[in-house]
């Protein structure tokens, strides 16, 4: 693990790497303490658009971890930044939680259920048929379909649950329009993480638990990848993909052992 330990910084996924739901994973406290004690730069990237950086900071604090809000970057923030760059001052019909709406507001993108330029979908606990109908109507009228992240499922303390990729698929099927996904494996997320750390790609390692979003994003961004088996990917799953991570570990605890 010496080569990983010598890295200046780390970009880490959260779900399946740091925690499952509200349960912190074994070895995470030691890993965070090691990064702090050794002046490692680090940022947490999450494809989940459901919480703001402040809420993520508070969530970790309730688990006994002290991580400031500035160390988080979410797919909601990346989506807002992407739309702001593409079409400043645009409007959107949003299926998602308050954190996604706030990220859009922060970039001066406002809500519109009549004639928006975009329909934006993220993970939500209030998904219903009425919202699907409205999204389909607006996309058929010309709104562009955007997904915060392509994940089909995500790990929770109750097991594997549906994520944005599953929620957006009925809209894609009904309209015949494919969504553009901003979150990983789109390299936009990792490039922003590099800017946050002020590091070159060869100076950091990217730690994730998913082959189809995390590892491919790292490979396409020319960043050394670390797959941890504490999330949705098992060792048997790895051979199903035409690419491999640089390192395969049971958990982040193995980085410092």
Give me 256's structure tokens. 């410092």
Q: Tell me how far CA of residue 8 lies from CA of 4, 5, 193, 222, in angstroms.
A: 9, 8, 13, 16
Q: Where are the alpha helices (DSSP H) in 114-182?
A: 129-140, 164-175
Q: Are the C-beta atoms of 182 and 92 separated by less than 8 Å?
A: no
Nearest to 74 by CA among 22, 15, 27, 114: 15
Q: Which helix (H) or strand (E) holds 161?
A: strand 159-162
Tell me how far apart the alpha carbons of residues 187 and 36 are, in angstroms, rounded to a whole number. 26
Q: What is the DSSP letter of 63?
A: T
The one catalytic residue in 13, 151, 212, 254 is 13
Which residue reads 């809000």 in tokens? 69
Q: Tell me how far CA of residue 1 lies from CA of 4, 32, 36, 132, in angstroms.
A: 5, 16, 18, 47
Burial (0-12, 13-18, 19+ Cβ within 10 Å), 50: buried
Residue 106 a catalytic site member: no
Residue 214 a catalytic site member: no
Provide the annotated active-site residues: 13, 15
């Amino acid at each position: 693990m010496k080569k990983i330990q010598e890295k200046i910084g780390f970009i880490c996924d959260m779900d399946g790497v740091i925690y499952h739901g509200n349960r912190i994973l074994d070895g995470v406290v030691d890993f965070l303490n090691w990064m702090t004690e050794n002046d490692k730069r680090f940022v947490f990237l999450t494809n989940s658009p459901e919480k703001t950086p402040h809420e993520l900071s508070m969530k970790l604090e309730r688990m006994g971890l002290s991580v400031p809000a500035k160390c988080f970057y979410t797919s909601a923030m990346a989506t807002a930044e992407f739309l702001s760059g593409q079409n400043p001052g645009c409007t959107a019909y949003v299926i998602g939680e308050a954190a996604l709406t706030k990220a859009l507001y922060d970039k001066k993108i406002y809500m519109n259920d009549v004639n928006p330029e975009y329909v934006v979908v993220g993970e939500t606990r209030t998904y219903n048929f009425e919202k699907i109908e409205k999204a389909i109507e607006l996309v058929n009228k010309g709104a562009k379909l955007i997904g915060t992240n392509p994940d089909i499922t995500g790990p929770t303390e109750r097991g594997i649950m549906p994520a944005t990729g599953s929620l957006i698929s009925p809209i894609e099927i009904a309209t015949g329009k494919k969504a553009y996904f901003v979150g990983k494996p789109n390299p936009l997320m990792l490039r922003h993480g590099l800017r946050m750390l002020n590091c070159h790609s060869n100076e950091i390692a990217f730690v994730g638990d998913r082959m189809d979003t995390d590892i491919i994003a790292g490979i396409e961004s020319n960043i050394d990848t670390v797959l941890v088996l504490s999330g949705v990917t098992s060792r048997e799953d790895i051979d199903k993909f035409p690419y491999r991570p640089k390192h395969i570990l049971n958990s982040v605890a193995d980085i410092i052992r």
